[in-house]
Amino acid sequence: MKRFLCKGKERIQKQWRSGISFLIAIACMALSAYGQKVAQQKITVVFQQQSLVGCLEKITAQTGNRFYYEGNELKQNTKKHTATYSNQPLSAILTALLAETGFDWQEVNQKIVIKKTAAHNQKKEAPVVTPAPKRDPGKITGKIIDEENGDPVEGATIRIGNKGTTSGMAGSFSISLPKGNYTAIVSYVGYGTKEVNEIEVKDNETFTLTITLKREKGQLANVVVKASAKKEGVAALYTAQKNRVSISDGISAEQIAHTPDNNMGQVLKRVSGVNTIDNRYVVVRGLTERYNQAMLDGIIIPSTDMNRRNFSFDIVPTELISNVVVNKTATPDNSAEFAGGQVTVNTLDIPVENFNSVTLGGGYNSRSTGKEVIQLGGRANSDYFGFDDGRRKFPNNIQSWQQGNDPIPDYALEQSRRFNSEQLKVVRSKAAPNQNYRVSLGRVYYAENDTKFGFVGGVTYRNVQETSNFLTLRNSGYIGNPTSNLLIDSTNIRGTGNQHRFATTLGGVLNLGVEGKRYKISLKNYYSRLFSEVSQPATRVDQDGDRRFVEYLDVPEITAVLQNKLDGEHSLNSKGLKLAWTGAITTINQDILDLRRLSYGKTASVGGKDYFESPTLSPWSTSDGDYDYRMSTHLKETDLNWGTSLVLPFTFLKDKSLLKIGYAGWHKQRSLGANKLRIVKPDQDTKVAGWYENILAPGRMGLTGDSAFYYADNSSNGDQYNGKAKYHSGYLMLDQRFKKFRLVYGIRAENFNMANAQEQFLRTPDNLFGSNSKVDPYITGEKNWRFLPSANLTYSLTSKMNLRAAYATTMVRPDFREASYFQLYDVFLDAYISGWNVVSTRIDNYDLRYEWYPSAGEIISVSGFYKKFDKPLELQAMNVTGGAGKTRYLRFQNQKDATSYGVEMEFRKNLGFIADKNWLTNIIFFGNGTITKSEVTAIDYSVITPDAGQSFLLVEKVVPGVKRPLYGQSPWIVNAGVEYLSKYAGATLSYNRSGYRSYVVATRPDFIEFENGRNMLDLQLSARVLKLRGEIKLNVSNLLDEAIIFYQNTDGYRVDVLSDGAWAFERKNGTDAYEKSKGDQQTYRIKNGRTASITFTYKF
């Protein structure tokens, strides 16, 4: 298996290197045109339907060179010339103009004479004249859309200047024109004619224009409506905003272009109702990652986090984005695996115009940069490029054995000597400044029959080095049995430490597309590679025995994601029948390279300073694996996605409607292998002294005496799980309009089948795993059909106001991690996390929303929502009983049900209503707020033996007296800010604050760990320089640097034991919120520091 996985890894790396080489080659070819040398005495000139004499007069006006000729015969030449010559010799241009005219030219005394050639003279061949390289002097591109419903209008006629074309399948068009001011005339059967003026075309620039057409009948169809390009662009954006199918928010490429943001993590903060954590992870309507769905080009993005459903959005450059849509209600034609929101990022395939962009930047953190970093094994140069140099690689063919009374096998010592002990050495260094670089480019080419093709590509590099300082009582034994609520501030009780994070991110996007009048085909490729290493030196306190010890933790991890997607759209007839299809493959490789968790007891105290140099080894027969071990894992997942849909327009009650039918499916296969080796001593009485890198050096190892070795137990070495999941769905959707009403409704039928084989059970015949081991199945998962109806009703109160109502049933499916028993240590939670035999969560969603669009890009809305969860999934502590909870073990677990309801308000408004001044229009106030109430019906699981141990049953009991919010749900969230965006500069000040939220739940409510809210203030300044081609950005985040506090309501409940032995709880003091005066106890406190970064971007 290892050989197969290594080959798979090499194959992915080879594909990545090939993709990068291809991208660089294209970039070099595309950029080379800028530096080509041509002959001297060259000119640039554009002819547009001009006569021969007119061409000569234009050259004279431009260069001052006069032409001499006799008679009117030259004027009688009526041939029209349309051509562009860039940096061409004047001689070549004249020869091309006079070819086959019967005239020739000659230079006499620095004067050019044109004369008629003799009939018998041999014609002079015209040399090859190279047209203008790369692109026309100017271009107008855009879309024609229906004013009422926002649908693209295919086949509309567009006339601009003396050129014309028709709109394609997506309503798009493109016309090349020389520099000047133009008017566009647009018409189509059944629509009125529109005349749009104030279109300014500049050399080597693209003017983007979206035009709305209104359906007209009878004589009204002959009326010409006039508008300016600026007002028409505003009207088009209104139409797009107002006619979204579902309750959703979003941001387009045009809007992104006017912001100083440079990656998707920053952009998403501008979408109403969306929060981001560290500019990377998304929270929608206060619901955490479990209930949100991330999609890239319509494909579900796999998680980049080993223990959570998270995707790091900061990998995607903004130049490659077409639009971002956040759906808050479901429709039948989209995946329905969310409850908070579905974040869909759509990337470009064919750019509007050619572009090149280069970005470089650096950053400083107040608690990290230049400060000491303590880690195990030291830093390799390859870490900065996202690769391991081999020092962390485990030996091949590791043999394991069962813990118990059996003797130590003969191969144990030789196997132990194959490990690199230098990786256990404590190394000190300094944190370097953060750095990031990005190169992106796009090209578009035009062919005959209005066919165009192009590509966009980008490469991103980022290296971040951060340090956070923390205080903790976790795993100390003091939590839940405090003598004071100030325990975490007691130097004799609390643990202290630093969390160092080193992360290198490599990302690449290469999209290609071809588009004709009636079709569009795209190939989209995405790759990301993240090397992350968390190093955590800490001083810990153990209540049992009242001792202090030092912990060294090091977790290096590499995650690589490669996605390739091919899709197409086809217009099948002139009546609007359209076919769409897609196919994609996604591969994920995720490796924990060499996790090391070591501990040293106190050796001596000298001069008030403690020295910790005594390893806290356990004998191999009793080692619990909490400390002193090394672990390596390899995870591989392959996802196949496919789908097709057919859209049929029809008329119902004289209004246009749509019928859409489709099918989507996917197949996922995921496997996880692990090797966990505990560092143990031969027996309980042996005392071992020294540093681990010396104790475990090959010459020092041994199975007897003052020595140690590696113990590989059966359950933790080998394949851990091997899962397969299949999904098939069919849907039927109707989109109908009745004057001011629009109803989008239908049903989605889903068949889901997941079987996750827990391979480690095969190596432990007695199933010695977990508290409910007698009822834990070998294969976890579920198989079922689900029918998910949805309806979205929109009533247009005015041209700027909508009233919306929606209902949808959605399903959040468990992933392989949540359905796996494998235990993995989580650094931030300071706990081991495992899954269980969990099932899908069904959510019934009800929404109401009033929305007003005062002007383009502005919104004021008020929403109400109610959600009913059946079997919600939560992360629950399994071993918190009594007062001395030591090492925490957490598990994903279903609860009985939950409800969540609330009110949401969003606004984004500029000050242009005060006066018609640009500077007022450029000032924008924005914000959103959510108030939510949620409640969970919690379950306590227990195992009973009804027939004297012959059989075992898992019993669910509702925990009485527990009223707590849904896992991860915050009761309120506030985001607000102000920004100034002009042509030359920008500034944004944003504020965020949320209420408390449960971080780890427990059966006992007094042991639930909450995360307290904090004030967040960020500042961004930008300036455009170098003729607006360059941009400088300064970002300062976490200006207030408030601590992140985790706490428990330790003294908040009265606990009673019922007659059947179950617990019952009653609130006696305070609320769930953090109240120091009510005895709430802090469990963990961490500060991340202020971060300032500066970037420079140049576009050409």
> 3-class DSSP state for residue 4?
helix
Q: What distance in Å separates the CA atoms of residue 129 and residue 120, rounded to the nearest whole number? A: 26
What angle is formed at CA 741 by the lines to CA 739 and CA 742, rounded to 5 degrees? 115
Q: With 90 as the cut, is the pLDDT of residue 429 above it? A: yes
- Supply the pLDDT for residue 256: 66
- Give all domains of the chain, ordered by start, each with its CATH number: 39-116 (3.55.50.30), 138-242 (2.60.40.1120), 259-350 (2.170.130.10), 385-895+897-937+965-1000+1009-1048+1070-1099 (2.40.170.20)
What is the residue-averaged pLDDT of the chain? 82
Q: With 80 as the cut, is the pLDDT of residue 625 above it? A: no
Exposed/middle/buried for 854, CB within 10 Å: 0-12, 13-18, 19+?
middle
Q: Which tens digit of pLDDT belongs to each residue from 58-111?
A: 887 777 677 766 556 777 777 788 877 776 777 778 877 877 777 877 765 566
The two structure tokens encoding residue 362: 């650096």
Name the residue among 911, 1011, 925 with its Cα closest to residue 967. 1011
Q: What distance in Å separates the CA atoms of residue 771 and residue 952, rounded to the nearest whole number? A: 12
H or E segment to which residue 487 belongs = none
> 3-class DSSP state for residue 714?
strand
Name the residue among 1006, 1060, 1011 with its Cα closest to residue 877. 1006
Exposed/middle/buried for 651, CB within 10 Å: 0-12, 13-18, 19+?
exposed
| Residue with more model confidence, 810 or 290 | 810
Q: With 50 as the cut, is the pLDDT of residue 908 above it? A: yes
Q: What distance in Å separates the CA atoms of residue 853 and residue 859, rounded to the nearest whole number? A: 5
Q: With 90 as the cut, is the pLDDT of residue 733 above it? A: yes
Confidence band, pLDDT 50/70/90 cuts, at residue 130: very low
**Region 528-550: what's the mean pLDDT?**
83
Which range among 355-369, 555-569, 992-1006 shows the weakest confidence by mean pLDDT?
A: 992-1006
Q: With 50 as the cut, is the pLDDT of residue 131 above it? A: no
Q: What distance in Å separates the CA atoms of residue 715 and residue 765, rounded to the nearest whole number? A: 10
Q: What distance in Å separates the CA atoms of residue 721 and residue 369, rounded to the nearest whole number? A: 40
Q: What distance in Å separates the CA atoms of residue 269 and residue 665, rounded to the nearest whole number? A: 31
Q: What distance in Å separates the CA atoms of residue 988 and residue 980, rounded to the nearest whole number? A: 6
Q: What distance in Å separates the CA atoms of residue 484 and residue 504, rounded to the nearest whole number? A: 42
Determine the residue type at 460.
T
Spatial contact of 998 and 969, defined as CB atoms under 8 Å apart: yes
How many CB atoms lie under 10 A from the CB of residue 356? 17
Q: What distance in Å separates the CA atoms of residue 1017 and residue 513, rounded to the nearest whole number? A: 41
- Supply the pLDDT for residue 71: 55
Query: Tokens 């020869």 map to which residue?
Result: 95
Q: Which tens digit of pLDDT belongs to each residue from 12-35?
A: 445 444 544 443 443 343 333 333
Q: What distance in Å separates the CA atoms of residue 393 and residue 986, rounded to the nearest whole number? A: 48
Confidence band, pLDDT 50/70/90 cuts, at residue 312: low
Q: What distance in Å separates the CA atoms of residue 1022 and residue 985, rounded to the nearest whole number? A: 5
- Supply the pLDDT for residue 16: 44
The two structure tokens encoding residue 494: 């609390």
Q: Which tens digit of pLDDT belongs to each residue from 199-255?
A: 888 877 788 888 888 887 655 555 677 777 766 766 666 577 677 777 777 776 666
> 3-class DSSP state for residue 327?
strand
- Supply the pLDDT for residue 1087: 94
| Residue with more model confidence, 1036 or 30 | 1036
Q: With 50 as the cut, is the pLDDT of residue 901 above it? A: yes
Spatial contact of 624 and 670, defined as CB atoms under 8 Å apart: no
The two structure tokens encoding residue 253: 């490429």
> 3-class DSSP state for residue 679?
strand
Bridge partners of 43? 88
Q: What distance in Å separates the CA atoms of residue 431 and residue 423, rounded to the nearest whole number? A: 19
Q: What is the distance of C-alpha 1099 from the center of its chain?
A: 24
Name the residue among 1072, 973, 959, 1064 with its Cα closest to residue 1013. 973
Length of the chain in terms of residues written:
1100
> 3-class DSSP state for residue 574?
coil
According to DSSP, residue 964 is labeled: B
User: Parallel, antiparallel, or unpaired for β 292-296 and 341-347?
Assistant: parallel
Q: Which tens digit of pLDDT belongs to each residue from 926-944?
A: 888 889 999 999 888 877 7
- Supply the pLDDT for residue 772: 52
Confidence band, pLDDT 50/70/90 cuts, at residue 129: very low
| Residue with more model confidence, 774 or 824 | 824
Which range among 258-267, 524-533, 672-681, 805-814 shows the weakest confidence by mean pLDDT?
A: 258-267
Q: What distance in Å separates the CA atoms of residue 495 and residue 1092, rounded to the nearest whole number? A: 29
Confidence band, pLDDT 50/70/90 cuts, at residue 263: low
Phi, psi of 818 (to 5 degrees): -70, -20
> 3-class DSSP state for residue 650?
strand
Confidence band, pLDDT 50/70/90 cuts, at residue 279: low
Buried b (16+ CB within 10 A) or exposed e, 226-262: ebebeebbbbbbbbbbbbbbbbbbbbbbbbbeebbbb
Q: Which tens digit of pLDDT belongs to each residue from 1066-1098?
A: 888 888 999 988 888 899 999 999 999 999 999
Largest separation between any pair of C-alpha atoms in the chain: 122
- Supply the pLDDT for residue 663: 98
H or E segment to which residue 1083 belongs = strand 1081-1087
Bridge partners of 882? none
Q: With 80 as the cut, is the pLDDT of residue 479 above it? A: no
**Region 114-142: what's the mean pLDDT?**
56
**Region 304-321: what's the mean pLDDT?**
69
Confidence band, pLDDT 50/70/90 cuts, at residue 119: very low
Q: What distance in Å separates the CA atoms of residue 448 and residue 563, rounded to the nearest whole number? A: 32
- Supply the pLDDT for residue 949: 62
The two structure tokens encoding residue 454: 């192009």
| 914-921 contacts, C-beta under 8 A, 24 or more apart | 918/982, 919/982
Q: Considering the entire predicted model, what is its pTM?
A: 0.80
Q: With 80 as the cut, is the pLDDT of residue 382 above it? A: yes
| Residue with more model confidence, 975 or 283 | 975
Confidence band, pLDDT 50/70/90 cuts, at residue 483: low
Question: What is the residue-wise DSSP string for 889-954?
Answer: EEEEEE-SEEEEEEEEEEEEEESTTT-S-HHHHTEEEEEEEEEEEEEEE-EEEEEE-TTTTS--EE
For residue 47, the number of C-alpha atoms closer than 13 Å in the C-beta half-sphere is 23
Cβ partners under 8 Å of residue 890, min gap 6: 826, 829, 831, 832, 833, 834, 875, 876, 877, 878, 1000
What angle is formed at CA 247 by the lines to CA 245 and CA 251, rounded to 5 degrees? 85
Q: What share of the chain is helix, strand, coil (3-state, %, to 5)?
A: 10, 55, 35
Q: What distance in Å separates the CA atoms of residue 46 and residue 579, rounded to the nearest whole number? A: 42
List the end-to-end C-alpha distance of the chain, in Å, as a whole number: 49
Exposed/middle/buried for 490, CB within 10 Å: 0-12, 13-18, 19+?
middle
**Region 482-505: what's the mean pLDDT?**
80
For residue 966, the number of C-alpha atoms closer than 13 Å in the C-beta half-sphere is 29
Q: Which tens digit of pLDDT belongs to each residue from 561-595?
A: 999 999 999 999 888 899 999 999 999 999 999 99
- Supply the pLDDT for residue 880: 54
Bridge partners of 209? 142
Confidence band, pLDDT 50/70/90 cuts, at residue 489: confident
Q: With 90 as the cut, is the pLDDT of residue 499 above it? A: yes
- Supply the pLDDT for residue 645: 97
